[in-house]
Amino acid sequence: MQQQMLCLKKDDEKTSEITLKGSVEIVSDFFFTAINSILYQRGIYMPETFKRESKYGLTVLTSTDKGLIRYLESVQKQVEHWLLQGNIQRLVVVVQGVDSMETLERWQFNVTVEGQKGQENGENSQPNVRPTGTSGGKKGGKSMKEIHGEIQAIIRQITASVTFLPLLQEPCTFDLLVYTDKDANLPTKWADSDPCYILNSSEVKLRSFTTSVHKVDSMVAYKEADEWEL
Return mean pLDDT, the chain: 85
Which of the four pLDDT bands, split at 50, 70 and 90, describes residue 6? Answer: low
> Over pLDDT 70: what percentage of the chain?
80
Rounded-to-integer distance, Cα 109 and Cα 117, Å: 19
Q: Say if residue 1's pLDDT is above 80.
A: no
Which of the four pLDDT bands, split at 50, 70 and 90, describes residue 49? Answer: very high
Evaluate whether 107 touches 92 at the Cβ level (below 8 Å).
Answer: yes
pTM for the complete prediction? 0.83
Residue 168 CB neighbour total at 10 angstroms: 17
Which of the four pLDDT bands, split at 50, 70 and 90, describes residue 73? Answer: very high
Rounded-to-integer distance, Cα 194 and Cα 90, Å: 15
Secondary-structure breakdown of the chain: helix, strand, coil percentages, each rounded to the nearest 5: 30, 30, 40
What is residue 186's predicted lDDT score, i.e. its pLDDT? 85
Which of the 8 DSSP states describes residue 163?
G
Rounded-to-integer distance, Cα 155 and Cα 162, Å: 13
Span 118-143, pLDDT tens digits: 434 444 333 333 333 333 444 557 89
For 182, list phi and psi in degrees, rounded to 5: -70, -20
Span 81-101, pLDDT tens digits: 999 999 999 999 999 999 999
Which of the four pLDDT bands, split at 50, 70 and 90, describes residue 5? Answer: very low
What is residue 3's predicted lDDT score, i.e. its pLDDT? 53
Q: Say if residue 13's pLDDT is above 90.
A: no
Task: Please give the average per-residue pLDDT across 188-212, as a whole number.
Answer: 93
Rounded-to-integer distance, Cα 105 and Cα 164, Å: 12
Evaluate whether 165 touches 105 at the Cβ level (below 8 Å).
Answer: yes
Contacts of 29 (CB under 8 A, 6+ apart): none
Contacts of 69 (CB under 8 A, 6+ apart): 63
Q: Say if residue 172's pLDDT is above 90.
A: yes
